[in-house]
Amino acid sequence: MSNSSTQHYAHLLKQVRHHDLLYYVQAQPEISDAAYDRLYRELSDFEKAHPQLIDENSPTRKVGGAPLDSFRTVPHTVRMQSLNNTYSENELTDFLTRVTKGLAGQEATFAIEPKIDGLAVTVRFLDGHLVQGLTRGDGDRGDDITENLKTIRNLPLFVRGLPKTIEFRGEVYLPEPAFAALNHARQKKGEALFANPRNAAAGTLKLLDSREVAQRPLAVVFYGLAQPETSSLTTQDALHQQILQWGLPGHTWFRLADGPGKVLQAIHTLDRDRTKFPFATDGAVIKVNRFDQQRVLLSTEKAPRWAIAYKYTPEQAETRLHAITFQVGRSGVITPVAELDPVLLSGSTVSRATLHNFEEIARKDIRVGDYVNIEKAGEVIPAVLSVNLQKRPTSSRPIAVPRHCPVCGGPLSKEEVFLRCTSRDCVGQLKRRLQHFASRGAMDIEGMGEAMVGQLVDADLVQHLDQLYAVTEEQLTHLDRMGEKSATNLLQGIAASKSRPLWRLIFGLGIPQVGAVSSESLARHFTTLEKLSSATVAELTQVNDVGPKVAEEIVSFFQERSTQRLLPALRKAGLNFTAQKEELAMRGGVLAGKKFVITGTLSQSREEFVRQIQTHGGSVVGSVSPKTDFVLAGEEAGSKLTKARSLQVRVITEKEFVKLVGTESPE
Ligand code: IVH
């Protein structure tokens, strides 16, 4: 390759990056869109002609890559905490007093910044290149969403002038206008609507196909560092400014304040200004400005003591409740739902609200025809707060509590405040169970959303879960709005689900209290559905994440007659009942593909640890490099440990290692 091509490529890259920064981050483009498009085209044409030169972090790479089967779970370098929240100015003042006390009377200045209602992410750059992005997950481990993050337009893949390694904490969001457009398009296609921008952003980041993610204009804002102590920056305001100087998306609105009066003033100003931001701001975050003072104040398990979120009181709206409908959940619990005249609330249109249960309806005396006050308190589903009695029509009557299942007419039982349909053949339950079974997190059957499930059940094509696998193309094409192509696609989706990993099937069965994580543990422990189905409570409680209560639920689920009928039918349909090697090696995704270095003296032989790591899908290498995921360090560890620390490779003790691989023996 001639030197001049390389130079030309470098020049193109630099130019496109420069204009990306002006356009996406600083919102101050210097050239017309057409001129930018030409330049961009030139870059991408050049890359097509010289594929061997392509920089993997070129701006053209923002189109997404091949879809993933699932996200890897990765340990966080530093725990990702949340914030303590308050809606009260008094509590905020208490926080400020506590801080001063914690600093032994030292004066503190506070940084006040917008609290974006989005999704927390942590993004690591190595030598200026974006190398990894994770969700918060449970705070200790998050999902590896690097490919999805790379499609975000205002997030550069390469940044000049960064420290060798740096990890930013921030928030991903979907700008308000993009949210409206997305929902509009979905409505036209008859797809389910996202409740609010946060929900839409969360849904988008969970897509396994980053090319789809690239179609949605997500954006990110950084507001923190995973390890502020390793940086030369000393305050939050210096960090905000430095983030912008690096050309990364940061907060342009922030204030410094000392003393309660000024802090309150700043959060009031923010309340006024926040309507102009492109992101939904649901509060202010108040942080101790100096990093050294933050360190003195430390953290509790969940949240730091040096910061607090002051949330603005959620908007409320009044609207007419024109009907009450009933939703039957997959376990039969009946939830009354308020059908409302559409009304705008905190940036989204609301036409339904949960009424929780019949006792709530009675307590609030909610009736059809009432004008009700609704609120969305950071939750996806809005709730009815109260009734405006002055506007109550004279003819209204209290709601009659149903005596039979509103969907199937079957018998009801009362459990605490809930009504539950106990019929085995309830169509409402069946729909929910199917929906769960087919959902992305379970058997992941493409094209089988709520509407499709409804049609299959209503047309009597599926009365039991296993009948899903007997549906024919002929039957499908008779359904509403079902062309040949969608029929073929759905059948392919159904067929593909037969070979899903065992944990997905276990999760999809909808055993009460058994979530995706416990399903993974169960699949690994029992390795076949048969073994799981005949396990006793004592055997089940051997499994990580399975307590006695859950164990009992599992046993009784497999004893149910309907389950005993279902399992052989599913097997006959050809579903995979066995955990495959990869699944067994996965161990919750922890060690799959992980590189370990072992150093120091451990309680057992080095070979024993090598064996354990390998059994769990990891590998052991000789020396520490930036590619090493873990250094397992025993007593008297020497230079390898020092090197790991300097490269910020995660160091774990033997005890932590045992926790990582679980308690079972690796046989
Ligand atoms: S600081 C250890 N700053 O709100 C400190 N968080 O309710 C962690 N959030 O988990 C967070 N804007 O996802 C911080 N300016 C901001 C924020 C912010 C939004 C989110 C973040 C956090 C959640 C807590």
Residue closest to 131 by CA, chosen among 111, 158, 112: 158
Residue closest to 596 by CA, chosen among 621, 627, 633: 621
Q: Whose CA is nearest to atom 16 of ligand 1?
A: 115
Determine the straight-line distance between the first and last CA of the chain, rounded to whole angstroms: 52
Residue 346: per-residue pLDDT: 67
The number of the ligand 1 atom at minimal distance from the alpha carbon of 299 is: 2
Q: Are residues 385 and 323 in the same domain?
A: yes
Q: Choose the final residue of a domain: 281, 311, 341.
A: 311
Q: Are residues 604 and 526 in the same domain?
A: no
> Looking at residue 38, which CATH number applies to its domain?
1.10.287.610
Q: Choose the final residue of a domain: 473, 497, 521.
A: 497
> Looking at residue 528, which CATH number applies to its domain?
1.10.150.20
Q: Are residues 599 and 565 in the same domain?
A: no
**Is 285's C-beta closer than 6 angstroms to any atom of ligand 1?**
yes
pLDDT higher than threshold 90 for residue 376: no
80 lies in a domain? no
Q: In this predicted model, what pLDDT tens digit does every residue of 591-616 receive, in sequence order?
A: 777 889 999 888 887 877 887 787 67
Residue 256: per-residue pLDDT: 97
The number of the ligand 1 atom at minimal distance from the alpha carbon of 85 is: 7
Residue 60: per-residue pLDDT: 82
Q: Is 115 a catalytic residue?
A: yes
667 lies in a domain? no
Rounded average pLDDT over 432-457: 91
Residue 378: per-residue pLDDT: 47
Q: Choose the final residue of a domain: 567, 585, 603.
A: 585
Pocket probe mutation, ligand 1, options 79, 110, 115, 172, max atoms within 8 Å of Cβ: 115
Q: Are residues 243 and 302 in the same domain?
A: yes
Q: Are residues 223 and 132 in the same domain?
A: yes
383 lies in a domain? yes
Q: Are residues 158 and 251 in the same domain?
A: yes
342 lies in a domain? yes
Is the CB of residue 563 less than 8 Å from the CB of residue 557? yes
Q: Are residues 135 and 229 in the same domain?
A: yes
Q: Are residues 212 and 303 in the same domain?
A: yes
Which of 14, 48, 115, 643 is catalytic? The answer is: 115
Q: Are residues 217 and 111 in the same domain?
A: yes
**Is 651's C-beta closer than 6 angstroms to any atom of ligand 1?**
no
Containing structural domain, residue 554: 502-585
**Is 82's C-beta closer than 6 angstroms to any atom of ligand 1?**
yes
69 lies in a domain? no
Q: Say which residues have a Cβ less than 8 Å from residue 561's Cβ, sequence separation at least 6.
A: none
Residue closest to 649 by CA, chosen among 77, 89, 262, 115: 77
Q: From CA 171, how far away is CA 117, in angstroms rounded?
A: 8
Q: Are residues 625 and 517 in the same domain?
A: no
Is the CB of residue 428 less than 8 Å from the CB of residue 328? yes
474 lies in a domain? yes
Q: Write down the pTM of the prediction.
A: 0.53
How many separate domains does the chain show?
6
Q: In this predicted model, what pLDDT tens digit does every residue of 121-140 receive, in sequence order?
A: 999 999 999 999 999 988 89
Q: From CA 205, how far away is CA 443, in angstroms rounded?
A: 19
> Looking at residue 616, which CATH number applies to its domain?
3.40.50.10190
Q: Are residues 328 and 307 in the same domain?
A: no
Q: Are residues 626 and 551 in the same domain?
A: no
384 lies in a domain? yes
50 lies in a domain? yes
Pocket probe mutation, ligand 1, options 83, 198, 295, 308, max atoms within 8 Å of Cβ: 83
> Looking at residue 345, which CATH number applies to its domain?
2.40.50.140
Specify the range with the lowest mean pLDDT, choosing from 281-290, 324-333, 534-543: 324-333
Across the chain, mean pLDDT equals 87
Distance of CA 115 from the midpoint of ligand 1 (Å): 6
**Is 13's C-beta closer than 6 angstroms to any atom of ligand 1?**
no
